[in-house]
A and B are shown apart, each in its own frame.
Chain A
Amino acid sequence: MTYGLCNLIGRGRVAGLGLLAAAALAVTPAAAADYPERDITMIIPFGAGGGSDTLARTIAGVIEEMKLIPVKILPENRTGGSGAIGYSAVAKEKGNPHYLATVSVSFFTTPLLGGSPVSYKDFTPLAAIAQSPYIMVVPSSSEYQKLDDLKKTPRFTTGTTGVVSDAALLAKMTSNALGIQIDSVPFDGEGEVMAALLGGHVNVGFLNPSEAMTQMTAGKLRPLAITSAERSPAFPDIPTFKELGYGDIVHTQLRGLVMPADVPQEVVTYWEGVLEKVATSEQWKKQYIDRFYDVPDYVDAEGFKDVLERTNARYETMMKDLGLIQ
């Protein structure tokens, strides 16, 4: 009986593939008109409950709620290898417009360290729908009231999650700009970094907006500057590095989506349309922006591609400076 059932399913699938192939052959130029023809798999290269997972599932949820596409998005956690396993699974589907992934720091760093067979070049950028700046903070008990006060002291330490992270990158950029030395101490998670900062074991922090907000409201941390190009609507009182005279320090994490390489241009345009609607929606604002204090911002495929290249170059330079890669 089991055999019969398998056989039946098998045949059905073959027949379906046949039809699909025929359809594809018949209408190749207009294929995008029928897109998407089946459910979209959204690979999350990290575990359930983490930052990447929340981001991916919220985007999928908003698209579903607003009925922006005629098919479902199926989120799937494929963890391991510091993101390499999940991202490889997406890249392997070259040309297949039914696979999606969000970008993260590991999207760049793991391949640069030689830890992944695929790099950002193996993906098609679609669009970004928000950006997350970083806020430089010191404990409230510290003597430093504003950014330039740091120049009085030659050396600081900061906590980062892993040696190659945005916090470590920003520590390097700030060190160079202010002529001081900020050494990065790698910890195992954002929680440990926060504990080290509040406990006085490191002196400065480069935090996500939501982490910083919590502790600033409680009066435990004092903000010095924010890394976005303009002031963030959620933090109107925090000056940007740029306006304080350090124009080089602009670095945010773009919340964006990618597909495997070589998907048709029509598909990219299709997703640009979908994601633009997400970015400007009330649901996205309520379910993500307001919760994580990100900056709402829509960046199209072309712009997103530039950011990916620039981010990758920044990490590469930093790793070379640290002697991690040649």
Chain B
Amino acid sequence: METLALLWDGILAATDPGIFACTILGAVVGLLIGALPGLGPTAGVAIMLPVAAGFGGVAAIACLGGVYYGSMFGGAITSILLGIPGDAPSVMTVLDGYPMAQKGEAGRALGTSVFASFVGGLLGIAGLVALSVPVSGYALAFGPTEMTAMMCFALSLLSVLGGRNVFKGFVALALGFWLGMVGLDPISALPRYTAGSMNLFDGLDFSIVAVGLFGLAAIFMSLEVNVDKPVAKYTFASLLPRISDAVRTRWQLLQGSVLGFFVGVLPGVGASAATMLSYALAKRISATPEKYGTGIVEGVAAPEAANNSASYGAMIPLFTLGIPGSATTAVMMGGLIMIGLQPGPMLFTENPEFVWSVFGSFALGNLALVFLTLLLTPLLAAALFIPTAYLYPIVIAIVVYGVFAIDNSAFNVMLTIVAGGAGIILARLDYPAVPLILGLVLGPLLERNIRRTLIQSQGDLLVFIERPIALGLFIATLLVLLIPLFLKLMGRKMIAADEAEV
């Protein structure tokens, strides 16, 4: 109750015209940066940092926060309309969003992503204000050993995303693991698979690869069909979001938000992994898993709810402990220091008004983004009325600009094009691209945490089962892998139907 009163005061404080204007500015900039393929929340917050720092106090952090969650709204736009992930956490949105747009349901898909972003944001904020302290303790309990177990559990859930051919799915996953090793070895610092090029030292940026693999590949392949017609046929009604979709996807929204929040809290894991888990979980417990990937609203709702709530989860270690758990929150921490605040455990006790006003601005910004994006939805979806002969060259130009802008690097642009070429080859040979992306994101996390654990334990493998959280997660992993096998032996369906399906 007291928390609610504090939040209410915070919301009132955040309605101050100056602060509100900065919140909206941040949210709109975030929306645009999120929508620009390649550029994501980290780049967005970094770009706005010098500007926002000038606002000072609550307004500065309200603005940076706006960029962060705004980009989570914006990332879905190009994922759905063009099949090009706007940023790393919206890669999974492509899987069902893009097929929906091709079927002429772009408005519904965009609408669902807005509802999902809003619900994810709302529950994320609720978690942020109500559960920060206990949840930050939970985040700290995850050391390298627990993270290793967590990644194994994640991979067991994600095995459902392998596509029709299990063998080809694993080949793509292995390819992703391998690509994740490119760069300086995270533990011993020696270069691996860099061919001597220092451009590859920092590894392959996941969003750059995803933009090429999904986006450019789709554009290149479409050149074989008619290029003088729009992507799909539309009626005016198809451009409008449907409120009923929000009701229909309520379970995916809830489950995605909760999962996203708890995964987002973990230092170093991030929103992208949260969206993958959320999508996989939704598919796994669905009674009709085969429909995922063909263009259904549930497949848009699950990842979009997760990435928004993950962005609030990621702020918990920052605000309660002074620990930036992700690249984006590290830049936000820079913002806190620049306005003269010391992020950390004392922030809540020494500057409660500041913290609650910032949280209040999150609530307002989240609400404002819903109206903003819902108004924009028909307009954005109408972009698909443009014949692809005109649309695609513009899109390619924007993609090149967005990828270049990440590091002002022409090498990254080449990398996107190469990834696009690789995407075509994979599609031609019928290898799924999703496991490759999963490997690229989760492979490095798994490798690093296994090696960290073994340094700590001096090579003793028993630590993995000596620690209770890790043991629990390993048991859960085994159950996820064995239950379908068991059910199959019992002559039942591969995947259990769950009451969660609507």
Contact = CB atoms under 8 A, between A and B. Distances in A.
Interface string A193-205: 0111011111000
User: How extensive is the interface on chain B, given as a class?
Assistant: 35 or more
User: How extensive is the interface on chain A, given as a class?
Assistant: 35 or more
B331 A199 contact: no
B242 interface: no
B408 A78 contact: yes
A43 to B, nearest CB: 12
Given A49-B46, A185-B144, A186-B187, A195 B325 contact: yes
B136 to A, nearest CB: 9
Contacts of B456: 157, 183, 185, 201-202
B49 A49 contact: yes
Interface string B448-487: 1000100110100000000000000000000000000000
Interface in A168-189: 183-189
A217 B46 CA distance: 28
Nearest to A49: B331
Nearest to A211: B322
Interface stretch (B85-93, B124-132, B194-202): B194-202
B177 to A, nearest CB: 17
A163 B201 CA distance: 15
Interface in A273-326: 291-292, 324
A220 interface: yes
A193 to B, nearest CB: 9
Contacts of B321: 194-195, 198
A81 interface: yes
Interface in B104-153: 139-145
Contact of B198 (A54, A115, A186, A194): A115
A109 interface: yes
A8 to B, nearest CB: 27
B267 A192 contact: yes
A291 B268 contact: no
A164 interface: yes
Given A49-B46, A199-B140, A192 B268 contact: yes
B452 A195 contact: no
Contact of A198 (B140, B202, B452): B140
A164 B189 contact: yes
B289 interface: no
A201 B46 contact: no
B143 to A, nearest CB: 3
B75 interface: no
Interface string A201-214: 11000000011011
B32 to A, nearest CB: 17
Interface string B308-337: 000000000100011111110111011101
Contacts of A184: 455
Contacts of B45: 49
A48 B49 contact: yes
B97 interface: no
A113 B189 contact: yes
Given A50-B330, A80-B409, A215-B344, A116 B317 contact: no
A202 B198 CA distance: 32
Contacts of A80: 198-199, 201-202, 407, 409, 411
A292 B199 CA distance: 31
A88 to B, nearest CB: 8
A133 B327 CA distance: 24
A220 B345 contact: yes
A297 B46 CA distance: 30
A190 B330 CA distance: 9
A162 interface: yes
B199 A186 contact: no
A48 B331 contact: yes
Contacts of A21: none
B188 interface: yes
B198 A199 contact: no
Contacts of B49: 48-49
Given A49-B45, A84-B198, A157 B455 contact: yes
B418 interface: no
Contacts of B46: 47-49
A202 B140 CA distance: 12
Contact of B190 (A194, A198, A324): A324
Contact of A188 (B143, B407, B448): B448
A187 B143 CA distance: 11
Interface string B10-31: 0000000000000000000000
A70 interface: no
B191 interface: yes
B407 A79 contact: yes
Interface string A50-79: 100110010000000000000000000111
B393 interface: no
A85 B324 contact: no
A196 B198 contact: no
A218 B350 CA distance: 11
B198 A189 contact: no
Nearest to B321: A198
Contact of B342 (A187, A201, A214): A214
Contacts of B333: 191
A210 B338 CA distance: 13
B345 A218 contact: yes
Contacts of B199: 80-81, 85
Given A80-B198, A191-B329, A214-B342, A54 B268 contact: no
A211 to B, nearest CB: 8
Contacts of A82: 184, 198, 201-202
Contacts of A116: 198
Interface string A117-152: 000000000000000000000000000000000000
Contacts of A81: 198-199, 201-202
Contacts of B331: 48-50
Interface in B60-109: none
Which 5 A-B residue pairs are closest in the complex by CB-CB distance? A201-B143, A81-B198, A218-B345, A199-B140, A214-B344
19 contacts: A47-B407, A50-B331, A80-B407, A81-B202, A113-B190, A115-B201, A157-B456, A163-B188, A186-B186, A188-B186, A189-B324, A190-B330, A195-B323, A199-B140, A200-B140, A215-B344, A217-B344, A218-B345, A324-B190
